[in-house]
Structure 1
Amino acid sequence: MAVPSTAPQSPTSRKVLLLGLLIVLFIAVYSVAWHFAAEFLRNRITGFFSGGNPAGVSANCENATMGGYPSRFRLNCDRLSFDDNFQGISASSGPVRAAAQVYNPGQVVWEMDGPAEIRSALGFNSTLEWSDLRASFRAGFSGLQRSSMEWTDLKTKVTSTVTGLQIEVTTPHLESHVRQNEGNLDYAALINDTVVAVNGTAIALPPVSASIDATFADRGGLLDPRLAHRQELYGTKGELRRMVVDAGEGRVLTLRGPFSVGNDGLISGSIRVEIEKIRAWRDTLKTAYPDQQETFDDLAKVLRVLTLGKDDGSAEITIQNGVASLGFIPLGQLPPL
């Protein structure tokens, strides 16, 4: 009859067994820690949405669920809505999906399905539809450090609740970026092939692309929930580093210069404008706004004088309390922010 072996385990076998036990123990501890962290984040998020934040914004993340084990935290909502009583704004959207890596929870990527609705006490309502919205943000102890959003096939409709005026803006691509920068607020945006319609009638302009890069001084707190309710764009100063408007066929406008926003929302500033294809811009604007043909002719003549007859040149536009002028020629009234 065979006798069972009673030879002791080799050192290698004991090491393998110990390693296996450590791996199992690590997985168990990590799993418990992940679920505790996920529940903590879910409670913090729902508490924040319920108004438990310094800005006093209340939101509702319907049927919020946490997932993503083991490598990330993922939050899904069937519908997102929020109310900002201080700013008088409420909004709602379709499903939202957000995720962050376990090792970098402050960096969040998220997606949102449309349509979205925005209602404002300032007298307008908006609806937004898109085929794809992807975004990301980085958050720290001082609120949002930076945020980026990118829309594909965006259609925005803004309706005045006072006059009934309806403006519709359609673009295949829009992206925006915002960040805190040493207490200031940096903002950049890019929009391509934009078409605008008023009360259902498209403005007779070619599709326009534009980009902007600007800084609002001492307004970085707008991204910090602890300070946002005490800061606003009214009463601020800033710098328009570069804004480009491109209507195609060489028609390009470039603007830069300092500006300020009054407590009434009206803009003032001194903006340097570089214009390419002066005559082409004149003809384009005369077609789009036939009742202003004389004004566009006068502007083109002044620009041609300033540029010594050239079709490209630059000029200084002065804006005082929302009233823009080129030399002695008024350009119009800018609406308040």
Structure 2
Amino acid sequence: MIDPAKTDATAGADAAAKTRPRSARRKFQFVIAAAVLLCALWAGGWFWANHIATERIAAMKADFVAEGGVIGCDAESLGGFPFKFTLDCAPASLELPSRGLSASVGALEAIALLYNPGHVLASVQGPLALKAPGDLAVQANWTSLQTSIRVGTSRLKRFSAVTDDLTTTISAPADPRLPTAARAKHAELHLLQNHADATALDLAGTVDGFAATIPGAPQLPDLAAQLYATLPGALPELRDGHVDPLPAWLAAGGQVKLGQLGIDIGGFLANASGDLSVARDGVISGKVAIRVDQLEKLPDLAELLHPGSRDRVAQILVPLSAFLKPVQVDGKTWRETTLTIKNGRVSAGFIPLGRLPPLKLGNAAGVAGS
């Protein structure tokens, strides 16, 4: 005998079972349709942005050519779909005959991240051939050269450049004081917006295995150096995509908050920190705390730089040692003192140590004072 209650229950279960797959299929179809729509919108947006980027690059080239410049790029391609834009150019070159400037590299690759506007990465392959006014010519090569730049709405956020195994040869008939060759095992430069002051520029750099050949000077031992400093007022707002920090920095007082300048050359170690200021004529003033180690190596280094200076430097070190107090830093004993710089004249206490030459600031001083 058939039980009507069981029959109704079975029929309801069958209907629910048929409804669930149909509902799940609809949800899955909706997800697929939404994903296809998003992909289509993303692809459309990428190609639209690619078109805009192509137009802007073409406009920049046209402006450069209008100034008399010449841009060379034998194998140019713009791609990177779907998450970035890439510009490849090999080899790449530019010339500006009116200013006596030309440069070429083996290859250039620039990458703009679509999901991070304002961030551009670049990789450059050597060799570099550079010619500048004054018959300055530079030949350089490296195993790796990477750069990164981040720009906010109105100011530079960060610029970084990192290179390995850099070698250069320099020809500068107009200035025989410049090195004729230089090399570095590793070098980094970072320019950052200060986190507490949007108008201040943080400067950080390091170099390892650096050596230079200077005409008429003996070969110095390899040098390693680290630098961290803050320059208040040196990060003005971008104007038409350009920024000139030097006049703005001088107008703000030319201050240098020196966090660290560390040097290791021939076993002689030195670290400096303090506050400095640079006048519009390039003259330096301020106070700097100096820590040194292996001070006995300094006369020999001075002799390499200026033959005949060994005895004089050794004589200065005798009274100077009285002002050097021992300090423990990271388990190492250093000798420390404070140097006073007044209008370029350097002294430790009442002992004069010499004079710092003024910095060459070019036209920046006049621009800052206007």
Tell me the TM-score normalized by structure 1: 0.79
Do residues 142 (structure 1) and 162 (structure 2) align? no
Identify the match of residue 26 of structure 1 among 38, 55, 74. 38
Instruction: Identify, as 1 or 2, the structure richer in strand.
Output: 1
Letter in 2 for 1:210: A
Residue equivalent to 1:302: 319
Question: Where does structure 1 differ by over 6 angstroms across 4 or more consecutive aligned residues?
Answer: 56-59, 83-89, 308-311
The answer to whether the aligner puts 1:193 opposite 2:209 as a matched pair is: yes
Instruction: Tell me which of 109, 128, 152 is aligned to 2:140.
Output: 128
Q: Does the CA-based 8 Å contact 1:143-1:225 persist in structure 2?
A: no
Structure exhibiting the larger radius of gyration computed from Cα positions: 2
Rounded to whole Å, the distance in 1 between the matches of 2:130 and 2:282 is 20
Match of 2:335 in 1: 312
Deviates more, 1:324-333 or 1:290-299: 324-333
1:114-155 Cα distance to aligned partner (Å, 9 max, x none) = 223444447744333211011212122214211111010112
Select the structure that is richer in helix: 2
Q: Which digits, 9 at most, give the CA deviation of each residue in 1:157-178, with x for residues without a partner?
A: 4433414455122110000100
Moved more, 301-310 or 20-29: 301-310
Match runs of 1:151-230 below 5 Å: 151-167=163-179, 168-181=181-194, 182-199=198-215, 203-221=218-236, 228-229=243-244
Q: Distance in 2 between matches of 1:278 and 1:118?
A: 40
The letter of the residue matching 1:295 is R
Change (3 A) 1:215 1:135: same
Shift, 1:110, TM fit: 1.8
> Whole-Å Cα distance in 2 between the matches of residues 180 and 150 of structure 1?
18
Q: 2:290 aligns with which of 273, 289, 297?
A: 273
The 3-state SS of whatever aligns with 1:242 is strand
State which drifts further: 174-183 or 104-113.
104-113
The answer as to 2:100 corresponding to 1:77 is no
Q: 1:163 to 1:147 in 2, by over 3 A?
A: closer
Q: Work out whether residues 266 and 336 of structure 1, in 8 Å CA contact, stay in contact via their aligned partners in 2.
A: no
8 Å contact from structure 2 (residues 236, 244) kept in 1: no
Contact 1:234 1:264 (8 Å CA) reproduced:
no
Separation of aligned partners in 2, 1:20 and 1:316:
71
Closer, same or farther in 2 for the Cα pair 1:264/1:43, shift >3 Å? farther
Unaligned runs of 5+ in 2: 1-17, 327-332, 362-370
Alpha-carbon shift at residue 242 of structure 1 (Å): 1.3
Residues of 2 paired with 1:123 and 1:261: CA distance? 30
Aligned partner of 2:354 among 321, 327, 330: 330
Deviation at 1:65, TM superposition (A): 2.4
Q: CA deviation at 1:298?
A: 2.8
Q: Could you tell which deviates more after superposition, 309-318 or 127-136?
A: 309-318
Residues in 2 aligned to 1:49 and 1:295: alpha-carbon distance in whole angstroms = 57
CA distance in 2, matches of 1:84, 1:228: 20
Instruction: Rate the CA distance shift 1:98–1:230 in 2: closer, same or farther, 3 A.
Output: closer
User: Letter of the aligned partner of 2:159 in structure 1?
Assistant: S
Relative to structure 1, is the Cα distance of residues 157 and 255 closer, same or farther in structure 2, using a 3 angstrom cutoff?
farther
**Contact in 2 for aligned 1:254/1:275 (Cα 8 Å):** yes
* Larger deviation, residues 304-313 vs 35-44: 304-313
Q: Deviations over 1:178-233 (max 9, x none)?
A: 0223201211100012112113x774432111011112221102866556258536
Aligned 8 A contact 1:49 1:57 in 2? no
Counterpart amino acid of residue 191 in structure 1: V
> Judging changes above 3 Å, is the alpha-carbon distance between structure 1 residues 308 and 218 closer, same or farther for their aligned structure 2 residues?
closer
Structure 2 letter corresponding to 1:336: K
- In structure 2, do the counterparts of structure 1 residues 123 and 193 end up closer, same or farther at CA, with 3 Å as the change threshold? same
Gap change, CA 1:324 and 1:128, over 3 Å in 2: farther
Aligned residues: 325
On the 8 A contact 1:191/1:209 being kept in 2, the answer is yes
Tell me the SS of whatever aligns to 1:151.
Answer: strand
Amino acid at match of 2:158: R
Distance 1:263 1:288, change over 3 A: closer
1:333 alignment partner, SS class: coil
SS at match of 2:309: helix
Unaligned runs of 5+ in 1: 1-6
Contact kept, 8 Å, 1:243 with 1:254, in 2: the verdict is: yes
- How far apart are the structure 2 equivalents of 1:208 and 1:43? 46
Quick one: structure 1 residues 224 and 170, their matched pair in 2 at CA, closer, same or farther if it must change by over 3 Å? farther
Q: 98, 104, 112: which is aligned to 1:100?
A: 112
Match of 2:364 in 1: none
TM-score scaled by length of structure 2: 0.73
Distance 2:303 2:63 in 1: 51
Alpha-carbon separation, structure 1, partners of 2:133 and 2:315: 40
